[in-house]
Amino acid sequence: MYDLEKELSKLNDKSSINDVQEYINKMLKTRGFEGQSKQEIMLLLTEEIGELAKEVRKSTNMKIDQKESRKDELSDEIADVFIYILSMCTESNIDLLQAFINKENKNMKRVWK
């Protein structure tokens, strides 16, 4: 299908959200996850958010289990959440960059207290 290593190597600090979303689309197709329902993606996203919450607990010295943690686990979990957010955008046919711009335009008109 796609050479994901080649596709991933195209991403860099100048890549846009749309570039990353296109990579996610290719990754989903290549790994056989294309066509997951919104419900399936939401369940996976919820699972990853739980893992992210645990990493935040670890990084703020809250009481946790005694499993040793790698320094990059927090960034790994944030990346997992981002992947599932982009997966949900793909399934829902949402341009994340445009959705972000639209939402920020709405937020700028809100009164924040």
- Do 73 and 55 meet the contact criterion of CB atoms below 8 Å apart? yes
Contacts of 74 (CB under 8 A, 6+ apart): 52, 55, 56, 58, 59
The string of pLDDT tens digits covering residues 84-99 is: 999 999 999 999 999 9
Architecture of the domain defined by 16-108: Orthogonal Bundle (1.10)
- Burial call 42-75: b when 16+ CB within 10 Å, e when fewer: eebbeebeebbebbeebeeeeeeeeeeeeeebbe
CA 113 – CA 110 distance, rounded (Å): 10
The string of pLDDT tens digits covering residues 15-29 is: 999 999 999 999 999
